[in-house]
A and B are shown apart, each in its own frame.
Chain A
Amino acid sequence: MSSLDQVFSALADPSRRHLLGYLADHGTATATELTGELPMTRQAVSKHLVTLSDAGLVSSERAGRETRYRLTETGEEWDERLDALRRHLERDG
């Protein structure tokens, strides 16, 4: 499957859109928090999170013993470029 197919397929499911909506509102959440919020088993939540991660829509990071999920931030390339621009201006100025 192409990455775009994966994105569309991930978004086709209402439960997964619900998870994305929750993450958009709350910033980050653990699978346990998401299970408490939505009428799904933890197992179903975990499975959906894998699908969303594979599509690149959600990323995760470990914080101590838990894994927190968030909507994937894009544009890291620009963060680096703009940092380089700031350093350039500081050197020059």
Chain B
Amino acid sequence: MIRKEIVLPAGRDEVWSALTDPRRLKDWFANDVELDLRPGGEASFRWDNGESRHATVIEVEEGERLVFEWEGEGDVEFTLADDAGGTRLTVVETSPAWTSALDLQASALAYA
């Protein structure tokens, strides 16, 4: 599991819009973005280097939580919270390829 946290200098609405508006996603996430923002909706991201990834939207709680699933490659969960510096954004990505290895590492550490 990968977990990242960042405090962004903007309100929650603004951060939500940057995460979910395809026109804005094109400015920071991918070069071409299609996104159907509703549970079960499809998303596709394309980059100028020829790479492309598809995802399915799992959960949408406006301004609070967005979950999508990379095609066959695990979930990404965004959580937004108010913070003195703006908005605290937490990203958690779980990937099936790594989950077992990292969980095993965690148990190994617990029982070391």
Contact = CB atoms under 8 A, between A and B. Distances in A.
Nearest to A14: B112
A20 B112 contact: yes
A78 B18 contact: no
A93 B101 contact: no
Contacts of B93: 75, 78
Nearest to A88: B28
B10 to A, nearest CB: 5
A86 B19 CA distance: 11
B108 A11 contact: yes
Contacts of A17: 108-109, 111-112
Interface residues of B, number: 29
Interface in A35-58: 57
Given A75-B4, A78-B93, A85-B29, 9 more contacts: A4-B100, A7-B101, A7-B104, A11-B101, A17-B108, A79-B4, A81-B29, A86-B6, A86-B8
Interface of B: 2-4, 6, 8-10, 14-15, 18-19, 24, 27-29, 89, 91, 93, 97-98, 100-102, 104-105, 108-109, 111-112
A-B complex: 3 closest residue pairs judged by Cβ atoms: A21-B112, A75-B2, A88-B28
Interface of A: 4, 7-8, 11, 14, 17-18, 20-21, 24, 57, 74-75, 78-79, 81-82, 84-93
